[in-house]
Structure 1
Amino acid sequence: MLRVEGVEKSYPGAEGPVPVLRGVDLALARGETLALTGESGSGKSTLLHLTGGLETPDAGRILIGDENVGTLSDRGRARLRRETVGVIFQQFNLIPSLDVASNIAFQARLAGRHDPERTRELAEGLGLSPHLAKYPEQLSGGQQQRVAIARALAARPALVLADEPTGNLDETTAETVLAAMLTLVRESGAALLMVTHSDRLASAMERRLHLEKGVIA
């Protein structure tokens, strides 16, 4: 489902380019879950953003199915995120003017895959059924993160990218939210790549890789 081959990425610095990724390779099969761990600044989020087409690599290839993400146009990368990739950010990025049901359905509508039954199933699986008519500001942090997860899964993506998806939650809530997310991801058959700093959360995944100074250690 996902192949990352020799990916490099640098950012401008006061004294020249600052390397963040120095030749990263990884592969993820359909239906597989993988945790990517590493210290702050190791390049975890950069790799996730490159995979989701939010940035482009300086070198190497990122293949999702048969598509090379780095060679797609802006429109092509946007299409990929609508139709194939679901992204869950640490910051929930919910739309304040939409209620929970509409936030969940938002991505699926963009992809032309809105299914009210799917929205209902996701809400039930994530404990959101009593809150569908509420607005984000009326929810707790844990509830908002569940809405963000449901939104990413509503369009039935083949690949889910999660960037510290429980980083704003206390440990108990984080484990509950992760368990619900993993259940729904596995039921859908999607592949999941999750960036996390938590050893406990990483241990819930089928595989684990560690990124250190821009390379897989």
Structure 2
Amino acid sequence: MQIQLLEIIPTYFEKSVITESEIWGRKVVFNQGEHVHIIAPSGSGKTSLIHFIYGMRKDYEGRILYDETNIRDLTLETFSTYRQKNISIIFQDLRLFADQTVRNNLELKRQLNPYHPPQKIDEMAMALGIQDKLGRTARTCSYGEQQRIAIIRSLLQPFNFILLDEPFSHLDDANRLKAFELIKSECELRNASMLFADLKELEFFTNEKRLRL
């Protein structure tokens, strides 16, 4: 799979604002299997970019192609089915079911978009240090714990690309590294791409491609 951004610009941006961007207004190609660190200072449109690529918003000029298909041309049903099989996402606002248990939040995703067996939930929870939170409601977890829940949820479905919008903002250094290694290992197992957008450059991105928004 390939994702192409062809001169996309948010309609609410002044064109003079984007002159230094390596993404807005340019041709950018993301190939399956590569990992890209998008460095996006506050106000540069980080969340908008993630939402545009995921197809949640269309308030932009230019074109976004999945392979050779303009995503504006996809019907809602076709788009939904395509994303279930090919694109996962971690939203900045997480979007958990607050009154459901952590396990239910994860199991619901796993059943809707099957990829891993049920025991993978426990394995990933153990890897990220939240195995003792599986029986609690998401509402009672700290924001850092909720971020780890959202990370695991995103990895339970099939994907060729995973979009990450500032997913580690409430994690300490040790937990950021654990989460990054888990995401990276899942991507490598699937030959999938990681598009990781954050406010600043993160130290554990070493050989990954970097673009400034």
TM-score bin (small chain): 0.7 to 0.9
> Taking structure 1 as reference, are residues 186 and 113 closer, same or farther at Cα in structure 2, changes over 3 Å only?
closer
Q: Pick the aligned partner of 2:181 from 179, 182, 193.
A: 179
Asked whether 1:91 is paired with 2:93, we answer: yes
Kept after mapping to 2: 8 A contact 1:142/1:173: no
Moved more, 79-88 or 200-209: 200-209
> Taking structure 1 as reference, are residues 93 and 146 closer, same or farther at Cα in structure 2, changes over 3 Å only?
same
Instruction: Return the letter of the residue paired with 1:77.
Output: F
Kept after mapping to 2: 8 A contact 1:35/1:202: no
* CA–CA distance in structure 1, aligned partners of residues 212 and 77 of structure 2: 32
Deviation at 1:172, TM superposition (A): 4.7
Number of corresponding residues? 206
* CA–CA distance in structure 1, aligned partners of residues 14 and 197 of structure 2: 21
2:149 aligns to what SS in structure 1?
Answer: helix
Asked whether 1:9 is paired with 2:10, we answer: yes
* CA–CA distance in structure 1, aligned partners of residues 127 and 56 of structure 2: 29
Question: Which residue does the alignment assign to 2:53?
Answer: 51
Kept after mapping to 2: 8 A contact 1:105/1:114: no
Question: Which residue does the alignment assign to 2:209?
Answer: 207
Kept after mapping to 2: 8 A contact 1:92/1:145: yes
Question: Which residue does the alignment assign to 1:215?
Answer: none
Q: Pick the aligned partner of 1:189 from 184, 191, 202.
A: 191
Q: Compute the TM-score of the two structures, normalised by the length of structure 2.
A: 0.82
* CA–CA distance in structure 2, aligned partners of residues 179 and 208 of structure 1: 18
> Taking structure 1 as reference, are residues 185 and 127 closer, same or farther at Cα in structure 2, changes over 3 Å only?
farther
Identity of aligned residues (%): 27
* CA–CA distance in structure 2, aligned partners of residues 55 and 135 of structure 1: 30
Q: Compute the TM-score of the two structures, normalised by the length of structure 1.
A: 0.80
Instruction: Return the letter of the residue paired with 1:33.
Output: H
2:110 aligns to what SS in structure 1?
Answer: helix
- Structure 1, residues 44-92: CA drift from partner, whole Å, max 9, x if none? 2211111001112543322224443222233333333322111102222
* CA–CA distance in structure 2, aligned partners of residues 200 and 61 of structure 1: 29
Instruction: Return the letter of the residue paired with 2:8.
Output: V
Instruction: Return the letter of the residue paired with 1:10.
Output: T
Kept after mapping to 2: 8 A contact 1:175/1:201: no
1:199 aligns to what SS in structure 2?
Answer: coil
Pairing of 1:27-42 with structure 2 (within 5 A): 27-42=29-44
Asked whether 1:155 is paired with 2:192, we answer: no
2:36 aligns to what SS in structure 1?
Answer: strand
Asked whether 1:110 is paired with 2:109, we answer: no
